[in-house]
Structure 1
Amino acid sequence: MDTLAGLLDGPRARGAFLVRSLLTPPWSILLRDESPVALCAVVAGDVCVRPASGGVIHLTTGDVAIFRGPDHYVIADDPETPPQVHILPGQECRTPEGVPLGTMSDLMTRPGELGVRTWGNDAAGATELLTGVYEVHSEVSSRLLATLPPVLVIRHDTWDNPLVGFLADEIVKDEPGQSAVLDRLLDLLLIGALRTWFARQDEGAPGWYRAHSDPVVGPAVRMLQSDPASPWTVASLAKKTGVSRAALARRFTELVGEPPMAFLTGWRLALAADLLREPDATLAAVARKVGYSGPFALSAAFKRVHGISPQEFRNAG
């Protein structure tokens, strides 16, 4: 598992919040849900995004935007349209004055609904949006999300991806297993957009991503990520990649930004943090899965990096 795949292997969509919005101007929504990551695809119409950092981003039909949490942002028909609805954590909806409107799920299932998983102000609205929200935090995905801008945009004319159309077709269906179908389509659309964006960043992409194409460091990174439980050393990794220890350490640090064993420690502890959120996972089992000799060794490393013990981390989550 690499870091990009880890984004979806940890917080993989499982009943992710998905909504189709049909809108006619004037409309404006303030997103304050603070989810780790959200995706918005414009099926039809034109949209303005106002990130908390300032400025205006214009989206049009076929564009896909990825929003990195927990930043707030406004999505509207026009930059000057004031927000009419605030969406809070748990998809709770309120008026700008704070009056509760229920959750987004409530609004999608009330009498007179616009359709399956559909919300908005006009059944004939010229603007159609698909929004998917990942509400589960993951330490693995945090390593990736930290490298992203607050709003990442993939323009419709810069990539050839049929998934927006597939998701638009499937989101309005109410058939057995539909939730799983939508989760997988959302995953594929998100990973496709991220992979496309990273591939275009050249030197701006994170080191671990650029390292994947390197003939020496790429295999080393993949081995560490796919098998963190192995007792890796720089020597054993160098032997597997067919270079000297010095050459591997130098090239790895140059491309990834940290030495091989430091990278492995960070990856192991990110995996451990995600596993600790599983209700039935014991500390001993987590330690074995991520390559520590036992609970004590994992606890010591975890506290050194996170500042709290694994048990305290679990209780806080």
Structure 2
Amino acid sequence: MDPLTDLLNGIRTTGAIFNQSTLSGAWAVRFEDGSPLALAVLVRGAAWVIPSAGGAMRLGPGDVAVLRGGAPYVIADDPAKEPDAVVRSGGRCARVGGQDASITQGVASWGPPESGGTVLVNGLYSVDGGRPGRLLAALPPLAVVPAGQGICPVSSAAFEDVIRPEPGQQVLLDRMLDLMLITALRAWFTRPGAQAPAWYRAHSDPVVGSALRLLEADLGHPWTVEALAAKTGVSRAALARRFTALVGQPPMSYLREQRLAEAAHLLREPGNTIAAVAGRVGFSSAFALSAAFKKAHGVSPRNHRAGTAPSD
């Protein structure tokens, strides 16, 4: 499996929300939806993306912006323009001082379909499936894929067809956003001069890549460095040294991190007990998982599942 496939495999969204805007004149939209990942596709016209951390970038027709981290950002016709509309959680759109725009089955929109206006499509990504931690860590706060570098797989005509409120629309929206994200990230990671993170490059190493795939394929297995070394055909010391040099942490530290990330995902699935999750990700008991989880995440598994604040 190539490293990009490994990175994206299993990442799925559910309940995707799209925002389609037709804008003209002087305009600026502030996004405060808190999505850990968001896409902005300029279908027509020109715009600027201004992250909270700074570093505004200009978008042209067909350009795709990937925004990571959930921090507010602004998209405007001019980076100096004050926002006159806000998008909040759940894709709720409001004019500053005005009413919310309507949302129909995951699609929000405002603005008349003016022939000369700027058309902007935003996808708010929930990242409810898989283990998204490495994906988020591999991305900058703002990544822009120019139209000539990657091909957006969703045309304006196709989007117009999908946003019609008909049976199965939410599934179409979810899968369309997945496809748009994967296409954009493939272009981003394979662009000339791309500086991929260390663990990403490590997947191409014949020894460490094999060890990574073994660990990720069966997180609950009682792995040891000795067992991994035997599977990859090198000595324990050689594997530990090579793995740490390429990934940036020892094999068992990496495994523990991945186990806790998977546990965080499994705990949100209905019906999963802490003990059952512990067994699936390789912890000896619910107590062992709870102690490690709270140390790593600052919150108990029970509170994480309930979405409540860290316990005292």
* Sequence identity (%): 47
Indicate which of 256, 259, 277 corresponds to 1:286. Answer: 277
**CA distance 1:118–1:128, shift in 2 (3 Å):** farther
Equivalent positions of 1:9-24 (< 5 A) are: 9=10, 12-24=12-24
Q: Are 1:226 and 2:217 counterparts?
A: yes
Residue 270 (structure 1) aligns with: 261
How many pairs align?
305
Equivalent positions of 1:64-103 (< 5 A) are: 64-96=64-96, 99=97, 101-102=99-100
Indicate which of 167, 178, 185 corresponds to 1:194. Answer: 185
2:203 and 2:157 map into 1 onto residues whose CA distance is 30
Deviation, 1:163, is 3.9
1:289 and 1:142 map into 2 onto residues whose CA distance is 19
**CA distance 1:212–1:136, shift in 2 (3 Å):** closer
Deviation, 1:164, is 4.8
Deviation, 1:228, is 0.4
Equivalent positions of 1:1-317 (< 5 A) are: 9=10, 12-96=12-96, 99=97, 101-102=99-100, 104=101, 106=102, 108=103, 117=107, 119-125=109-115, 126-135=117-126, 140-164=131-155, 168-200=159-191, 204-317=195-308
1:82-121 Cα deviation digits (max 9, x unpaired): 211122223334444xx4623x4x2x45xxxxxx946232
Deviation, 1:201, is 7.7
Q: Which runs of 5+ in 1 are unaligned?
A: 110-115
SS at match of 1:50: strand
TM-score (norm 1): 0.86
1:253-292 Cα deviation digits (max 9, x unpaired): 1111001110000000011011112232101111121111
Higher helix share: 1
1:259 and 1:199 map into 2 onto residues whose CA distance is 27
Q: Which runs of 5+ in 2 are unaligned?
A: none
TM-score (norm 2): 0.87
**CA distance 1:191–1:221, shift in 2 (3 Å):** same
Q: Which moved more, 1:261-270 or 1:204-213?
A: 204-213
1:96-151 Cα deviation digits (max 9, x unpaired): 4xx4623x4x2x45xxxxxx946232212432222110235679323321332111
Q: Which moved more, 1:39-48 or 1:196-205?
A: 196-205
**CA distance 1:25–1:132, shift in 2 (3 Å):** same
Amino acid of the structure 2 residue aligned with 1:300: A
CA RMSD of aligned residues (A): 2.7
1:41 and 1:88 map into 2 onto residues whose CA distance is 18
2:94 and 2:152 map into 1 onto residues whose CA distance is 35
Amino acid of the structure 2 residue aligned with 1:213: S
